[in-house]
Structure 1
Amino acid sequence: MSGYEFLPLVQGYPGKSTEHGGLGWSSVTVLSGHDRLVLVDSGGFGMRSLLRSRLAEHGIEPGAITDVLLTHAHYDHAANYPLFPRAAVWISAAEVEWASAAGATFMPLPELYAQDLAHNPRTRRITADGAFLPGLEAFATPGHTPGCLVYRAAGTGGPILFSGDAAKNRAELLSVTADMSLDPAASRASIERIRDLWREDPSTVLVPGHDVPMRWVDGRPRYEGTRRAGIRAWFATDLSATTSFDLTDPEGNR
């Protein structure tokens, strides 16, 4: 049976705002295959118009999405699942239990959405490692949150591994250390597990929660594709005059 076609919609970004809290620029991907259209993570509130336009560019209606896979419950990955009304929403059972019990906190957790996930009939709870849909597997990788999941898809060009925020970027994968984690020791073990899964097959593409997709080549992660990121700001008195800031890597690190 053929594998999934891999369609990146939004590229994750490995950075933080210095003055305005989290950026929330996470990776969002569509997988097409096995008579399914699968969205891996759904992005945050600020991504909604972009998601609509990117889906439209590829002729995908929101109602055609059959499944939404959530790596965890933070707002920048989970907030947009309600936009896909016919999709089953897959998430760790442990994550739903933790997130729905947390209430309103200063974590990046959308508490009302967490409550909805706990009671929504479209929610599908993943309770164990292994296959849960044709060509799709889930693996528990706690630390960043208690119920983080990594997903692996059987792609047409080889496996595709979605690490979410269990390993957000290349720096975390190389250092085996998580920048933001509720349990740093668990995160270290989870990143080791992700690295092992990644290196099982040299054709595997890893999609982090906040970075460019990459392969493991000659003992190091190598980016697949070019980073795209920027901001336009209104500093002048004329609304038509904007200042653009390029947020791609000025050192050209590959």
Structure 2
Amino acid sequence: MKKSYTILAIIAIIVVAIYVMLPKERFAETVFPLGDGAKVSAFDDNAAGGTSAVQFKASDSLTSFQCALGTDEKKPTWCGLVFDFDPAGEKKFHNWKNVDTLYMDLDIAGTDEILVKVWTYDPDVTDLQKSNTFKMLLKEVPVKTGRNKIAIPFEHFYIPNFWYDDLGVKRSKNRLHHESVARVEISAGWKQPRGKNFVVNVREIFASGISNTAYGIFLFMILGLMIVAIGRSHPVKEYDEKN
């Protein structure tokens, strides 16, 4: 019996060693330039009575966005860019379950902070007809004037308290649902001055992560180890019962 456990322990060490040596295959999924069916657009607060002014232009290689938040303190202010994977509302979401980093290559002027939001579909909360019911994953990103190459670890995104409060959603519903990403948004930082133009020119955005192939091989080997362990221990158990 001790010999069997020793053999299994050696096999387990070998399996773990092989897993450590397996190449970690990275993948990248493009947000911009746009993939099939995706759409980029700008938004502002005008429909809600705001007076923010937006200029927007998109080509295959560059998206240019400029905004000045409205100066009337009594009116709401917001504006930004959104890269929508499912503009037709057909649940053509992207699976970012294995994504560990969001990369952005941007030209910035007129601001020292942007808000990056990843919106995901939560079947318990989301109404496809109401964009704000998608789950907001938020990250504040400091920026400088000029070109910014940004890498945001996906674990740094969080669900803000105001999203729960605005929708009346219980905080227990805190799954990120990053297996169903609907869109990526860039907007002005929290302290952006009213009336001041800020510019975001997008060169490239992509998500990157590690393929689960290596994990699958590792799990398959563990399963094989378990089968061997059960197979070797079962006959011993039967012999003990007879004697």
Q: TM-score, normalised by structure 1?
A: 0.23
CA radius of gyration, larger in: 2
**More contact order relative to length (CA 8 Å, sep ≥ 6):** 2
Q: TM-score, normalised by structure 2?
A: 0.24
